[in-house]
Amino acid sequence: MKKYLLILLCLATFGLTACSQVTNDQQTTEVSKEVNEMEDKVVKTEEEWKEELTDEEFRVLRLKGTEMAFTGEFEKHKEDGIYVCGGCGNKLFTSETKYDSHCGWPSFFEPVSENSIVETEDNTLGKRRIEITCAKCGGHLGHVFNDGPQPTGLRYCINSISLDFDKEEKAKEEAKEKKE
**Catalytic: which of 88, 134, 137, 157?**
157
pLDDT at 165 over 70: yes
What pLDDT is recorded for position 37?
47
User: Strand 129-134 and strand 163-166: pairing?
Assistant: unpaired
What is the 3-state secondary structure of 132-146?
A: EEECCCCCEEEEEEC
What pLDDT is recorded for position 30?
41
Stronger pLDDT, 40 or 8, i.e. the higher one: 40
Q: What's the pLDDT tens digit per position in 152-164?
A: 999 999 999 999 9
Active site residue 137: no
**DSSP state letters, the chain:** -HHHHHHHHHHHHHHHHHHHHHHHHHHHHHHHHHHHHHHH-----HHHHHHHS-HHHHHHHTT---PPTT-STTSS---SSEEEETTT--EEEEGGGEE--SSSS-EESS-S-TTSEEEEEE-GGGS-EEEEEETTT--EEEEEES---TTTT-EEEE-GGGEEEEHHHHHHHHHHHHH-
* Cα 99 to Cα 75: distance, rounded to the nearest angstrom: 9
Q: What's the pLDDT tens digit per position in 78-125?
A: 999 999 999 999 999 999 999 999 999 999 999 999 999 999 999 988
What pLDDT is recorded for position 172?
64
Q: What's the pLDDT tens digit per position in 134-144?
A: 999 999 999 99
pLDDT at 131 over 50: yes
The whole-angstrom distance between residue 83's C-alpha and the CA centroid of its chain comes to: 12
What pLDDT is recorded for position 167?
83
Backbone torsion region of residue 41, taken as left when φ is above 0, otherwise alpha when ψ lies between -120 and 50, otherwise beta? beta
- Confirm if 79 and 167 have CB atoms less than 8 A apart: yes
Q: What's the pLDDT tens digit per position in 17-60?
A: 333 333 444 443 343 343 344 458 999 999 999 999 999 999 99
